[in-house]
Amino acid sequence: MSLYKLVRPIFFAMDPERAHDIALKGLNWLYKLGVLKLLPAPVFAPNELMGIRFPNSVGLAAGLDKNAEYLDALSCFGFGFIEVGTVTPRPQPGNPKPRMFRLPEVGGIINRFGFNNVGLEQFIRNIEASDYQGVLGINIGKNFDTPNERAIDDYLICLRRVYPYAHYITVNISSPNTANLRMLQERKALGDLLAALKKEQKKLHQQHGRYVPIAIKIAPDIDTRQLRQMADVMRKYKVDAIIATNTTISRYEVEGLANSEQAGGLSGAPLRVRSTFVVEVLAEYLQGEIPIIAVGGIFSAEDTCEKIDAGASMVQLYSGLIYRGPSLVREAAQAFT
């Protein structure tokens, strides 16, 4: 029996956000005491994507370490890469608590955090204070009180500030918990945003002498027609990767269960099929032109293979870590070997 199976009931007896905070703080202590160094070495199964060499193809998804506070401890779990954020230009508290709910019967989570984060400046200080040497993705967003007409400014502020620290930058336009954010996925808005970001990326490339790829993170609640439209726009602007997907606003898979009526984004096992479908549609349409990083409901090696078969080049994990524990990282990484 894994150690995680023993401690999980203790965490699951607590409020989910409190359990999350205590688990991460506990991990930091274990890291400082040197205990996490005793974990098995990461799976080494290198992969190259967006011009970056990854030690393996399994990453930590955005949202678990929103403020880049736990990079050192999390690096001990054997991820091939870690994505921190979503960070916004200014600090913001997010939505009132409670804002995270478990659906344990089906391995689901609903959250409506609403980009609670310490803001760009403290976020950068946290990265500077860490010893993490691995591949770092930085996920950027806009403040809740920035209107969509000025969203581009927020993304540009974030892009410029995080550029020197990131191996790749993820543009999050798919969280359901910031009003109207997902409207930025519509053809015209997406085109305007990408035009501005790619122009700035070119400048930053020259300025820093290093090209930092841009990935776009998309929602699962998009039909085939709109997915293809988005793919056309992303192809036009030479987006470096697509991260598919964020959480869903659908409740189809969890109808009638406790907490299923909570507002927010649903993740975990009930998201898996929907998310894989998005990967499949995009992969088939794009024929390898833009690589896809799959995220959504991965709880096992088989789930990982499902994403690979659908056309994903790499994967990320979040809810699976909560339900299955850190051993899932190795299991998923081995699915690529």
Residue numbers annotated as active site: 175
- Taking the least distance from each CB to ligand FMN, the nearer of 44 and 261 is 261
And the tokens for 122? 């403290």
Give yes or no for residue 116 binding ligand FMN (CB under 6 A). Answer: no
| Residue with Cβ nearer ligand FMN (35 or 63) | 63
42 binds ligand FMN (CB under 6 A): no
Cβ-count burial of 243 within 10 angstroms (0-12 exposed, 13-18 middle, 19+ buried)? buried
**Residue closer to ligand FMN, measured from CB, 37 or 61:** 61
Site string for ligand FMN, 162-191 (x = CB under 6 A): ----------x--x----------------
Alpha carbon distance 295, 276 (integer Å): 8
Q: How far is Cα 209 from Cα 85, in angstroms, rounded to an integer?
A: 24
Binding part of the chain for ligand FMN, among 32-40, 90-98, 207-215, 311-319 by CB under 6 A, reads: 311-319
| 87 close to 139: Cβ distance less than 8 angstroms | yes
Q: What is the C-alpha separation between 259 and 215, in angstroms, rounded? A: 32
In the complex, minimum distance from the CB of residue 38 to ligand FMN, in angstroms, rounded to a whole number: 26
Closest residue by beta carbon to ligand FMN: 63
Interface with ligand FMN, residue 126, by CB under 6 A: no
48-107 positions binding ligand FMN, by CB under 6 A: 61-63, 66, 86, 100
Q: Which of 56, 139, 185, 201 binds ligand FMN (CB under 6 A)?
A: 139
State which of positions 199-258 bind ligand FMN (CB under 6 A).
217, 246-247
How far is 177 from 253, CA to CA, in rounded Å?
20
Q: How far is the CB of 18 from ligand FMN (least distance, A)?
A: 13
Q: How far is the CB of 33 from ligand FMN (least distance, A)?
A: 27
Using CB under 6 A, which of the segments 1-9, 279-287, 294-302, 323-331 binds ligand FMN? 294-302
Copy the structure tokens of residue 173.
């336009």
- State which residue, 35 or 179, has the beta carbon closest to ligand FMN: 179
User: Considering the complex, what minimum distance in angstroms separates the CB of residue 304 from ligand FMN?
Assistant: 11
Q: Which is nearer to ligand FMN, 32 or 250 (by Cβ)?
A: 250
Report the C-alpha gap between 61 and 171 in whole angstroms.
13
295 binds ligand FMN (CB under 6 A): yes
Hey, is 281 helix, strand or coil?
A: helix
Q: Is 33 exposed, middle or buried (0-12, 13-18, 19+ CB in 10 A)?
A: exposed
Please say whether the dihedral angle defined by the alpha carbons of residues 82, 88, 93 and 94, taken in this order, is positive or negative.
Answer: negative
Q: What are phi and psi of 302, to 5 degrees?
A: -65, -40
**Among residues 259, 267, 173, which one has the least CA distance to residue 214?**
173
Q: How many CB atoms lie within 10 A of CB 146?
A: 19
Strand partners, 217: 172, 243
Choices 24-32, 145-153, 208-216, 317-325; region in contact with ligand FMN by CB under 6 A? 317-325
Interface positions with ligand FMN (CB under 6 A): 61-63, 66, 86, 100, 109, 111, 113, 139, 172, 175, 217, 246-247, 267-268, 271, 295-298, 317-320
